[in-house]
Amino acid sequence: QRLRNVFLGMRVPVGVADALHEIQKDLITYYDSKIIHWVPKDSFYVPLKKFGPLPEHKIQEKIDLVSRVLSEQPPAPLLLKLDSLEVSPSWNKPRTLYCSVRATPKTAIKKFIKTIDTESSSELLYENYEPVADDKLKHMHLPMRCAIGEWKKIYSPSLKGTAFRQGCLGYSHFASFEATELTLMSEFPSFDDNRHAEIEDIKSFPLLGKE
């Protein structure tokens, strides 16, 4: 039997925020209660708590619960694509960190990375990165691998309009640079050209995995 760790992100109308608290109380989590962030002005991006490891039918029960509660809140929110990953029993702790920050000058990104390094008291390795130049593309992704005692960048896609789609394990926060939160995951997959896509409009960016 294969167990899966599942991460679920939702972009929902502001009025749904209160309804989510009851759901969150029932889910396994690595987050505290302060996980609701603004995306555009008309919605919140809510990373729901981690499901798992759970058998697949239990995961489906959680998904059904979330869908049912949200369907009762008009207008109907957008339920983002759910991504799951297979893990071995030995992966009993989150090992991968994945975060998203607004595109800023390189100095700010370097400062952000250095801050993470300092606060974690561990080594951080990172590869090429650059701010997104296009005004319509205001976010960049910094996926990193987090093991005990170290932080390491393990995947560096082109950041000019590139976002993860089918391959992403959950969805990062779309928060300002200063307020960026980190999303923990258990594993990071190998990526190929089919697992990311060019994003042409910032409005589509919070809707990763909509397909």
Helix (H, G, I), strand (E, B) or coil at 172: coil
Helix (H, G, I), strand (E, B) or coil at 183: strand
Q: Give me the mean pLDDT over the 96-113 stretch.
A: 36
For residue 63, the model assigns a pLDDT of: 56
Burial class from Cβ neighbours inside 10 Å (0-12, 13-18, 19+) for residue 146 reads buried
**Domain, as residue range, for 116:** 96-207
How confident is residue 59, by pLDDT bands cut at 50, 70 and 90? low
Number of domains, the chain:
2
Helix (H, G, I), strand (E, B) or coil at 43: strand
Buried b (16+ CB within 10 A) or exposed e, 15-36: ebeeebeebbeebebebeeebb
Based on the fold, state whether residues 193 and 137 are members of the same structural domain. yes
For residue 68, the model assigns a pLDDT of: 57
Instruction: Check residues 64 and 128 and name the one with the higher pLDDT.
Output: 64
Containing H/E element for 185? strand 182-185
Token pair of 121 as six digits: 């008291």
Paired sense of beta strands 43-47 and 37-38, if any? antiparallel
Based on the fold, state whether residues 46 and 103 are members of the same structural domain. no
Based on the fold, state whether residues 104 and 172 are members of the same structural domain. yes
Based on the fold, state whether residues 113 and 138 are members of the same structural domain. yes
Among the three residues 68, 86, 104, which one is the final residue of a domain in this structure? 86
Taking all residues of the chain, what is their mean pLDDT, rounded to a whole number?
Answer: 35
Based on the fold, state whether residues 112 and 132 are members of the same structural domain. yes
How confident is residue 153, by pLDDT bands cut at 50, 70 and 90? very low
Opening angle at CA 195, ends 156 and 51, nearest 5: 95
pTM of the model: 0.18
Neighbours of 149 (CB within 10 A): 9
Q: Give me the mean pLDDT over the 133-158 stretch.
A: 30
**Domain-located, residue 114:** yes
Distance CA 128, CA 81 (A): 29
Burial class from Cβ neighbours inside 10 Å (0-12, 13-18, 19+) for residue 114 reads exposed
Q: List pLDDT tens digits, range 84-94.
A: 222 223 333 33
Based on the fold, state whether residues 65 and 103 are members of the same structural domain. no
Based on the fold, state whether residues 71 and 8 are members of the same structural domain. yes
For residue 66, the model assigns a pLDDT of: 52
**Domain-located, residue 91:** no
Based on the fold, state whether residues 57 and 123 are members of the same structural domain. no
Among the three residues 86, 105, 127, which one is the final residue of a domain in this structure? 86
**Domain-located, residue 171:** yes
Percent of the chain residues topping a pLDDT of 70: 0
Token pair of 195 as six digits: 């697992």
Domain containing residue 44: CATH number: 3.30.70
Among the three residues 86, 121, 150, which one is the final residue of a domain in this structure? 86
Reading phi first (left if > 0) and then psi (alpha if -120 to 50, else beta), residue 54 is in: beta
Distance CA 88, CA 58 (A): 18
Instruction: Check residues 70 and 3 and name the one with the higher pLDDT.
Output: 70
